């Protein structure tokens, strides 16, 4: 299925220069040595979860597929590489015809992962696969970090809706990717119109403090907003005096007022006060929305408060303190020789300081316990044990260069809810702890 068939209105531009220079200089040297065409297997994984996290969330897979499909070196890009003498003429000629023709397997988007999980496996010639390293990691590291934070916030919020409003707190393009990842992780809407346009995410928004300050009185501002947007709008009530604003809001809109938003102060205390005031004024169905530097811990602290929805910005788009997942992209196997039928041999970096990796083309499965709850992440090479075969995690994403697994974002969102629900209950604890599942390497 193409992006057009999914109804996505924005074409993805060339991703060829979302690349570190050393990928192309390695390519040049490998072409010269003749090793560039050896069959190779790269895997993306993380050696550890961010401190205190119990599980990770795979996000960005759909964007990776777009990036691979659009990894093309057109003439302006080739001219830049030529002018800057990044690579030599034969390498430029090879890049001019670049198309990824290999295979990609991976955890389906929305799935959870743990240390050592082979989240993405890229198979092809060394030349084809090595140049994808940076763009693959930049997408997976960013999007998975946001989705993990979103998932934790969604758990803390329970049935109360979460609204993403972090565009002004990050890079303008990262903001769109963050909205996508947040929606996958459990948020229901975004303030970012580009995210709504690109991915069909529901968008929300009414007014800021500037709108109230523009008018001569708060009543004038509320009246203008209600007349324009209707009585079911959300009025921002903490520009001046909160109690006065709530009373004015109900006087202007009546008990049909949709919601009030509180954006500062002791939100827990103020939510109780505003709820009581709304009820006393007859606006029993008017909802309370809270914003103001929320994170999962602040949201959890308001579980017993009369809050109906949360708006989250800075903490979400920065991964709630962990803006990357520290994923790496490593060569784990390569052909024994240049022969087309040469067998694969395992390779692995040997290093001190926690940077060792496990060689070999891997499979992964999630072993359930007798109640069907996930008990362990099992990663291995060679034949998969028969008892684990029904629980394999990797699925084909690209075969012979053709994308197989492009899917609607809502599919990945639903998958995440299912994957998280199948983890032990302690996975959703916000207290610091180790990964909720052990990773067994066999």
* Mean pLDDT in residue range 404-411: 96
- Per the confidence metrics, is the pTM higher than 0.85? yes
Of 114, 22, 121, 55, the closest CA to residue 332 belongs to 121
Cβ atoms within 10 Å, residue 389: 11
Q: 3-class DSSP state for residue 399?
A: strand
Q: Does 7 have pLDDT greater than 70? A: no
Q: How confident is the model at residue 1 (pLDDT cuts 50, 70, 90)?
A: low
- Output the six-digit token pair for 263: 């954006």
- Evaluate if residue 4 carries a pLDDT over 60: no
Task: Give the model confidence (pLDDT) of 54-68 as tens digits.
Answer: 999 999 999 999 999
DSSP string for 7-42:
T--SPPPP-TTSS-HHHHHHHHHHHHHTGGGSEEEE
Total Cβ atoms within 10 A of residue 164: 31
Contact 379, 440 (CB under 8 A): yes
Q: Are strands 439-441 and 374-381 parallel, antiparallel or unpaired?
A: parallel
**Mean pLDDT across the chain:** 95
pLDDT at 271: 98
Average pLDDT of the residues in 94-119: 98
Average confidence (pLDDT) over 258-271 = 97
C-beta of residue 315 within 8 angstroms of C-beta of residue 293: yes
User: Hey, what are 342's tokens?
Assistant: 């040469």
Question: What CA–CA distance (Å, rounded) separates 17 from 20?
Answer: 8
Which value, to the nearest 10 degrees, does the dihedral of the CA atoms of residues 215, 170, 67, 105 take? -120
Helices (H), 34-171: 61-69, 75-83, 89-96, 126-130, 133-157
CB 136 within 8 A of CB 122: yes
Alpha carbon of 230 to those of 2, 213, 233: distances in Å?
39, 20, 6
Yes or no: say if 148 and 324 are a contact pair by the CB < 8 Å rule: no
């Amino acid at each position: 299925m193409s992006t057009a068939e999914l109804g996505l209105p924005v074409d993805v531009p060339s991703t060829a220069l979302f690349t570190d220079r050393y990928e192309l200089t390695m390519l040049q040297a490998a072409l010269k040595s003749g090793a560039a065409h050896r069959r190779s297997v790269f895997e993306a994984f993380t050696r550890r979860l961010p401190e205190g996290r119990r599980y990770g969330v795979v996000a960005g897979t759909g964007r990776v597929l777009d990036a691979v499909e659009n990894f093309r070196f057109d003439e302006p890009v080739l001219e830049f590489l030529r002018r800057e003498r990044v690579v030599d003429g034969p390498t430029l000629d090879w890049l001019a015809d670049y198309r990824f023709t290999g295979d990609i397997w991976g955890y389906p988007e929305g799935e959870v992962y743990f240390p050592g999980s082979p989240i993405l496996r890229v198979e092809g010639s060394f030349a084809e696969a090595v140049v994808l390293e940076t763009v693959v990691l930049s997408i997976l590291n960013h999007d998975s970090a946001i989705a993990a934070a979103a998932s934790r916030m969604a758990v803390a919020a329970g049935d109360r809706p979460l609204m993403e409003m972090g565009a002004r707190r990050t890079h303008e393009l990262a903001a769109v990717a963050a909205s996508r990842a947040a929606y996958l992780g459990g948020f229901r809407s975004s303030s970012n119109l580009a995210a709504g346009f690109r991915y069909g995410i529901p968008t929300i928004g009414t007014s800021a403090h500037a709108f109230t300050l523009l008018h001569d009185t708060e009543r004038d501002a509320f009246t203008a907003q209600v007349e324009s947007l209707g009585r079911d709008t959300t009025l921002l009530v903490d520009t001046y005096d909160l109690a006065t604003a709530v009373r004015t809001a109900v006087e202007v809109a009546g008990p049909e007022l949709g919601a009030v938003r509180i954006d500062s102060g002791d939100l827990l205390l103020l939510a109780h006060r505003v709820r009581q005031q709304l009820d006393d004024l007859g606006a029993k169905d008017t909802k309370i929305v809270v914003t103001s530097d929320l994170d999962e811990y602040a949201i959890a602290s308001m579980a017993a408060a009369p809050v109906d929805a949360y708006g989250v910005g800075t903490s979400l788009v920065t991964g709630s303190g962990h803006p990357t997942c520290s994923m790496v992209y490593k060569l784990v196997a390569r052909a024994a020789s240049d022969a087309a039928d040469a067998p694969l041999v395992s390779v692995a970096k040997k290093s001190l300081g926690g940077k060792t990796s496990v060689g070999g083309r891997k499979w992964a499965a999630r072993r359930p316990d007798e109640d069907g709850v996930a008990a362990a992440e099992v990663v291995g090479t060679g034949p998969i044990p028969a008892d684990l075969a029904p629980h394999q995690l990797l699925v084909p994403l690209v075969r012979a260069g053709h994308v197989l697994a492009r899917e609607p974002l809502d599919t990945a969102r639903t998958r995440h809810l299912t994957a998280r629900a199948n983890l032990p209950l302690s996975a959703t604890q916000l207290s610091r702890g180790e990964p909720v599942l052990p990773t067994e390497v066999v």
